């Protein structure tokens, strides 16, 4: 099934990831927990990014969220990004940048999602596991990237950080 997902996303890449089509596809996608088990690598103290597939057009990953952890407010620099809750409960907050100097963001949406919930494409957002149990989410990113902007509202700055994977194709790095 994962190979089928990759092949369909390759077709969407030829159309620059049409939002309506990709969103509809991901909403209807029927993945069993067993199909994602290979990519379900966890850590107790931080979320993990587990790469399923990456090429020049897109990447797919499973992110595992320990209880009550979060990703900071971050940007995707114009990349189209979808996140689908597979297990657990996630809160996704979407923002718009009002100004960069001084940094000012406006929260435009706060969504709580359970399995099957899909958010995207997102630009600036945060993700938080709002439960006392592990959560997992499936992410599709057009135009993969190796670093992203972190928006630190308290310090009113944007910092660029390098990204890494916890596992690649089911093998812990």
Domains annotated for the chain, with CATH where assigned, are: 2-172 (2.60.120.10)
- Alpha helix locations (H) across 29-149? 33-36
Report which of 92, 83, 99, 97 is spatially closest to residue 137, judged by C-alpha positions: 83
Burial 97-124 (b: 16+ CB within 10 A, else e): eeeeeebebeeeeeeebeeebbbbbbbb
* 3-class DSSP assignment, residue 25: helix
Is beta strand 135-142 parallel, antiparallel or unpaired with respect to 81-87? Answer: antiparallel
Question: What tens-digit pLDDT sequence spans the chain (173 residues)?
Answer: 899 999 999 999 999 999 999 999 999 999 988 999 999 999 999 999 999 999 999 999 999 999 999 999 999 877 899 999 999 999 999 999 999 888 999 999 999 999 999 998 878 999 999 999 999 999 999 988 899 999 999 999 999 999 999 999 999 99
Cβ-in-10-Å burial (0-12, 13-18, 19+) of 60 comes to buried
| Residue 23: φ, ψ to 5° | -60, -45
Report which of 130, 141, 160, 143 is spatially closest to residue 56, judged by C-alpha positions: 143
H/E stretch holding 144? none
| CA count, 13 A, side-chain hemisphere, 52 | 26
């Amino acid at each position: 099934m994962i190979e089928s997902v990759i092949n369909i996303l390759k077709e969407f890449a030829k159309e620059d990831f049409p939002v309506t089509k990709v969103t509809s596809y991901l909403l209807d996608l029927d993945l069993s927990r067993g199909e994602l088990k290979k990519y379900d690598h966890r850590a107790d103290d931080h979320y993990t990014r587990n790469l399923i597939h990456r090429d020049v057009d897109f990447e797919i990953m499973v992110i595992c969220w320990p209880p009550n952890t979060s990703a900071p407010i971050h940007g995707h620099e114009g990349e189209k990004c979808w996140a689908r809750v597979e297990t657990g409960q996630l809160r996704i907050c979407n923002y718009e940048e009002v100004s960069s100097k001084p940094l000012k963001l406006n929260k435009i949406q706060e969504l709580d999602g359970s399995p099957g919930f899909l958010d995207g494409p997102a630009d600036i957002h945060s993700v938080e596991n709002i439960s006392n149990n592990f959560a997992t989410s499936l992410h599709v990113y057009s135009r993969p990237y190796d670093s992203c902007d972190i928006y630190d509202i308290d310090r009113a700055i944007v910092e660029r950080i390098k990204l890494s994977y916890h596992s690649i194709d089911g093998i812990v790095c």
